[in-house]
Amino acid sequence: MEQPNLSYINELSGGDETFKNKLITIIKKEFPEEKEVYFKNLEAQDFKALAENVHKLKHKISILGLEKSYKIAESYEDNLKENNVSKDEAFHQILKTITVYLETL
């Protein structure tokens, strides 16, 4: 599985460490909150809300340089719009990978 990285964040920050650290802080704050809401909606089987949650999480996936994972999330989001959770295991692995990565930053 591909690993998260800071390439895009480094590119965005253009060498500005303060800006880079601000972006990382925002991601480290928002990601766990968004993930928690996702799992609550999964438990409630609220497919519309789940699709919205995945849509928001997709942005974090992209920012962390996970191109293949982004495509999986995109497909999962489409499936959720049809009340289909068939890609949930792959998506959950992506969330786990990001969680572990963010803990190391």
Residues whose CB falls within 8 Å of the CB of residue 52, separated by 6 or more in sequence, listed in order: none
pLDDT on residue 68: 97
Write out the chain's pLDDT in tens, 105 residues.
799 999 999 999 999 999 999 999 999 999 999 999 999 999 999 999 999 999 999 999 999 999 999 999 999 999 999 999 988 999 999 999 999 999 999
- Residue 39 lies in domain: 7-104
- Indicate whether 1 belongs to any domain: no
CATH number at residue 36: 1.20.120
Total number of domains constituting the chain: 1
Handedness of CA 19, 10, 60, 103 (dihedral sign): negative
- Indicate whether 2 belongs to any domain: no
pLDDT on residue 86: 87
Which one-letter amino acid corresponds to residue 76?
Y
pLDDT on residue 4: 97
